[in-house]
A and B are shown apart, each in its own frame.
Chain A
Amino acid sequence: DAGITQSPRHKVTETGTPVTLRCHQTENHRYMYWYRQDPGHGLRLIHYSYGVKDTDKGEVSDGYSVSRSKTEDFLLTLESATSSQTSVYFCAISRDRGAADTQYFGPGTRLTVL
């Protein structure tokens, strides 16, 4: 399995509080991604990074920000959590963005916003 860890694995928070999720990789892959998974929607891309300090928006980026100060770490921040952001969040990594470049996924973080 690819060396990807996510922390925390579970979190319960209250509406309006800031939340930061961390993804850490040991594979030295260039690309890192944040997805969310909700019933009926499959996995949806939030943000991705193509290098240190290089990030871009995905399909559902509103209400989320990201940062990547080191190759191995990709942070997802909810500035002011809302109940609609209750979800399971997955980090993924890939060596490059070509069609033959596999994305490997982390174990996920289950976030509940009350």
Chain B
Amino acid sequence: DAKTTQPTSMDCAEGRAANLPCNHSTISGNEYVYWYRQIHSQGPQYIIHGLKNNETNEMASLIITEDRKSSTLILPHATLRDTAVYYCIVRVDYGNQFYFGTGTSLTVIP
């Protein structure tokens, strides 16, 4: 699986958009970008995934650059409950596991 690089930590004001970047410069053509988050001691929660097009669901938007070497997860209106560690994962086709790195610790500030 391609390696990802994320900032260690970020802050975001409540009600503002949280933009979480991820670099995956070695991504291959058949690898998807996934985002999960983990709120303290809970199981990882799936947020969104995409291959090359931008994606949006009820939780977030995923913006993938045209060269696919980086992506940004956008939480449009961050709330205190969005405080969590966010993981960007590149998923190879027919791999067994998701490789969770160290992620970005997002703190939403009142």
Q: Hey, which bits of chain A sit against chain B, CB under 8 A?
A: 1, 4, 33, 35, 42-45, 48, 56, 58-59, 88, 90, 92, 97-100, 102-108, 110
Are B100 and A42 neighbours in the complex by a CB distance under 8 Å?
yes
Cβ contacts B74-108/A at 8 Å (1 or 0 each): 00000000000000000111111111111000000
The smallest C-beta distance from B85 to any residue of chain A, in angstroms, reads: 10
**Which residues from chain B contact A42 at a C-beta distance below 8 Å?**
99-102
- In the complex, chain B residues whose CB is within 8 Å of the CB of A108: 41-43
CB of A105 within 8 A of CB of B96, answer no
- Interface band, chain B: 20 to 34
Judge if B45 is at the interface, Cβ distance under 8 Å: yes
Contacts of A97 in B (CB 8 A): 94-96
Most chain A beta carbons < 10 A, residue from B30, B92, B98? B98
13 A-B pairs with CB atoms under 8 Å apart are: A42-B100, A42-B102, A43-B98, A43-B100, A58-B97, A59-B97, A90-B43, A92-B98, A97-B94, A98-B93, A98-B94, A105-B43, A108-B43
Contact across chains for A45 and B97 when beta carbons are under 8 A apart: yes
Does B51 sit within 8 A of A, measured CB to CB? Answer: yes
Q: CA A58 – CA B95 in complex, angstroms?
A: 11
Residues of the A chain whose Cβ atoms lie less than 8 Å from the Cβ of B91? 99
